[in-house]
Each structure stands twice: as structure tokens, then as C-alpha cells.
Amino acid sequence: MKGGLINLHGLKVSMSAALECQGLWKVYEMGEEKVQAVRDVSISVDAGNMVAIMGPSGCGKTTLLNMLSGIDEPSAGQVSVAGLPLFGISDDERTDLRGSQMGFIFQKFYLIEVLSAVENVEIPLLMQKMSADEARKIALEALEMVGLGDRADHRPAELSGGQQQRVAIARAFVHSPSVILCDEPTGNLDSTTSDQILELLSELNTERNVTLVVVTHDDAVADRCERIIRMSDGRVIGEEE
């Protein structure tokens, strides 16, 4: 790989890649049968790119995203984030790496119901041992960026679906991660709100150089991306610019 290097764990990584996987497999044992959910997938996403992963239901794209995010461990292969290996390290090291270098946006917002919007957003900062005052300041700035500065003290139940997803987006980028992974980020939203969320994600990508990897069924989402990676039967079958 041009411009690559070998890290201490023997994984060849690209110096420009925010996220990279090599030879990923995920095999589930169903009784005597083995199901190959992801088969020998290798992907490299350069810093500042916005990439869509698309394919029919059951093609393995969510399983792939779970391995790229460190939620699920691969049967074989490796993932690197900002040049650092995600697997073959201790659970504490993986938690620290995910907490500092990765952000997450899901179809379900996964906000903590008893916390206000700003308290939800500042969680990644507090996990990195930032002072409460500094975390609050930065979290408020993130909410201002997504147009919710006036909703900082509202709890999730007091916000619309689109507003809750904006809070989730603010939480995903507040700690300046290397990459944000998105799983159907507009899946629970109406078309008008979806367009607003897509515009916000595009602005994060272009104006703040945030790297985004988006699993989606939605062509409108894919149209915003620089690259589309298509999957079928657990494999990458093609790419489009």
C-alpha cells in the first residue's frame, strides 16, 4: 500500500487513512452450519472522506459496521483507527481507543432519557477526564453548531425526533474523533427532517473535515457521499465515486 507503514502489531496501515480494515471475516456457528456474514472485506477510508456502505438487507453491512466500530470482534482480520489496531489489545485499551478516536450515530438515538441535551453531549468529554466546566463549554458549543443552543436544558422526551438526532450528532463529534460511524442515521425520520440531518452531516464533512462512514439503504444519503461501497452476500462487490 502506497504511503503505508507497519505498526507494532504487524498491521500495514495507510498514513492518510482514518479507518481501515484488512481481511475481515465474521462467521457464526448455527448448530452444525457455519454462516459467513462477512467474507474477506478490506476497506480504507481516507481522512475527510464521506463514504456510504450499501446493499440489500442481510448482505452483511451492519455486521461489518459493528466490527469497524469495535462492537463485535471479527473471526479473522484487523481494523485500524487512525493507524492504531482495534483488536488484539485489551478491553480497556479498545474502550479508550473507541472513546477518543470514534464517534457513533445510530438509527435509534440512544440518548439517556434522564439527562438533558447538553449532559448527553458532554459524556464523551467527561469520559476523557476533561473538567466539568470545560466539558460543559464545549458541549454547549457543539449544540449551537447543530442549531440546538436554545434546547440545551431539554431532556430527550421534550425534543422532536429530528432534534434528538441532532443531539446524537453533537455527541458524536464533540470530542473531535478520527471517524464517525453512522448506522441508518435518517432511518427513523420523515423526509423533511432527513434532508436537514443530511445537510448537517454534509456540513460536518466539508466544513470540519469530519470523516464519515454511513451504512444506509437511502439513495439520498449515498448521493451526498464521495464513495459508495456496495456489498452482497458478505462481500464487497464494487465501488462507485
In a domain, 197, yes or no: yes
pLDDT tens digits, 31-77? 889 999 999 999 999 999 999 999 998 899 999 999 999 999 999 99
In a domain, 122, yes or no: yes
Name the residue range of residue 204's domain: 49-70+89-240
- Residue for grid cell 483507527: 81
CATH number of the domain within which 217 lies:
3.40.50.300
Sequence-ordered list of residues with C-beta below 8 angstroms from that of 115, at least 6 positions apart, any chain:
155
In a domain, 32, yes or no: no
In a domain, 10, yes or no: no
In a domain, 193, yes or no: yes
Tally of domains within the chain: 1
- Residue for grid cell 463485535: 72
pLDDT tens digits, 218-229? 888 899 999 999
Return the CA Rg of the chain: 18
In a domain, 54, yes or no: yes
pTM: 0.88
In a domain, 4, yes or no: no
Percent over 70 (pLDDT), the chain: 94
In a domain, 31, yes or no: no
How many beta carbons lie within 10 A of that of residue 70, not counting itself?
17
120 exposed, middle or buried (CB, 10 Å; 0-12, 13-18, 19+)? buried
